[in-house]
Structure 1
């Protein structure tokens, strides 16, 4: 495996097994996460995504291993009450590393930000059909991050190529980091069923390699919007070049230190209800063994 690919995909998949389309019960989702921690691909595994309402149930089901559970908590209901619940948590097996908030008005986000610890990463979901500028002006220079939905269980949940490209450029211009959630099960774009049901509709899903490579290039100002609109739908692995020290799409290249910086400061991760599917596809592309 190339070191550049490891830098690109390190801790990149936040496991969301509780959420559609997988929608597992808590115990099997936790068992999956524990098992993924033991595989050769554990370096790709990020946080376990858990609704704050299920934190007590989660504690009761905690197994002996892994010894630390990095959690990303989905916030809901009374934010002050939820934060107080998290602050009272006293369990050395749990590390709350991030909070994820549903779509809220920018004015509400501004109020919440003042009550959050800077030691825990916070993600605020921004709907595509909204005034991005008003959201980004609130998030700028706060250390908080954005969250965008890149898919779901219906065809209309998937943003267009233009919407996704424009949002990534907007985040880069505002210097606001972001994560993606849903719909990024596959490295490259392609037509897939939106759920595992036999009668599920089919749509073109975005590729996580395209999104992350695009984000790194945009962060380092190596890509125009016009060219990004060509990169995002790129479905041929032949146009991506992976070496030990760099990754390139056609003539646009980022080196390993630029990749690491973009992951640290810009594209943080993506939530997926499947961890195995991305790995299987990367193996098919011969990027993983």
Structure 2
């Protein structure tokens, strides 16, 4: 089954991050296998931290990767952007994106300005932004958008309070659409549909819900409508809302999400009949 356009390169391989926490050698081998399997069109770059760059480059031999390893690098602070790019220059990797964290103990907006002012050599750069309730959110959003940066939304984690509720995520998505600021998500989007995890009891957002919400936001839907879409658990409602899977418009806003599993989203799409459309 082929991957429809709307899902192409949707899932960045974040296998080494929790809850999967796959050891780096195993994760690199698995990523190589994914890029040569039925899921290859679904998978984006390999996500890793700055500290893992050198080790990953050594593991990504020409036998596994004829071309340099495509990576999206999680950068711990704005001050580490330049050294991360310089480190990557000496390695057999292709940096597709930077995902920069902000120091929450300091004012956030000046840090975003600092990222924008650095020579990033044209590398796509995401900024992990605060929740919409944070007093600096409007200013951070405006600064990201004005400087051609992108947004990174944390949609889950290993604790319940790491998951934004439907209203918060709807606000993020609606504000991003109105500001023409593309975003990616990280953590929590393990499955296509909104669901309650049977083991932890955590409420997980679904990547199909987010995709449909992004599509609606681009059509100027209000935050109440986006909240309803994010809360929807009926697959039939969401697949109808998604519509034509050959169109890529929703992906101009919702770029990708990081997942510790690649097979799981593929299997969800297959089960929903979305790979046959």
Structures share fold, TM-score greater than 0.5: yes
Alignment of 1:100-115 (within 5 A): 100-104=99-103, 105-115=108-118
Displacement of 1:124 after TM fit?
0.5
Ranges of 4+ aligned residues in structure 1 off by more than 6 Å: none
> What's the secondary structure of 1:227's corresponding residue?
helix
> What's the secondary structure of 1:42's corresponding residue?
coil
Aligned-residue CA RMSD (Å) = 2.2
Show the counterpart of 1:76. Answer: 76
> What's the secondary structure of 2:167's corresponding residue?
helix
Of 137-146 and 180-189, deviating more is: 137-146
Displacement of 1:85 after TM fit?
4.5
Would you say the 8 A contact 2:13–2:45 is kept in 1? yes
Displacement of 1:91 after TM fit?
6.1
Q: 1:56 to 1:78 in 2, by over 3 A?
A: farther
> What's the secondary structure of 2:45's corresponding residue?
strand
1:66 maps to 2:69: no
Would you say the 8 A contact 1:169–1:218 is kept in 2? yes
Show the counterpart of 1:196. Answer: none
Alignment of 1:188-207 (within 5 A): 188-193=193-198, 200-207=199-206
Q: Structure 1: how far apart are the matches of 2:180 and 2:155?
A: 20
Show the counterpart of 1:210. Answer: 209
Would you say the 8 A contact 1:14–1:48 is kept in 2? yes
Alignment of 1:93-242 (within 5 A): 93-104=92-103, 105-117=108-120, 119-128=122-131, 129-130=133-134, 131-193=136-198, 200-221=199-220, 223-241=221-239
Of 42-51 and 103-112, deviating more is: 103-112
Displacement of 1:254 after TM fit?
5.9
Show the counterpart of 1:29. Answer: 27
If each structure's strand is expressed as a fraction of its own residues, which one has the higher value?
Answer: 1
Aligned residues: 268
> What's the secondary structure of 1:49's corresponding residue?
strand
Show the counterpart of 1:260. Answer: 248
Would you say the 8 A contact 1:186–1:208 is kept in 2? yes
1:142-200 superposed Cα distances (whole Å, 9 cap, x missing partner): 2110101111111111110000001100111111111100000110111115xxxxxx5
**TM, length-normalised to structure 2:** 0.88
Would you say the 8 A contact 2:76–2:102 is kept in 1? no
Q: 1:91 to 1:38 in 2, by over 3 A?
A: farther
Displacement of 1:280 after TM fit?
1.9
Alignment of 1:274-289 (within 5 A): 274-288=261-275
**TM, length-normalised to structure 1:** 0.85
Q: Structure 1: how far apart are the matches of 2:219 and 2:121?
A: 25
Unaligned runs of 5+ in 1: 194-199, 242-247
Displacement of 1:40 after TM fit?
1.3
Q: 1:110 to 1:90 in 2, by over 3 A?
A: closer
Q: Structure 2: how far apart are the matches of 1:137 and 1:43?
A: 33
Q: 1:25 to 1:92 in 2, by over 3 A?
A: closer
Displacement of 1:103 after TM fit?
2.8
Would you say the 8 A contact 1:217–1:254 is kept in 2? no
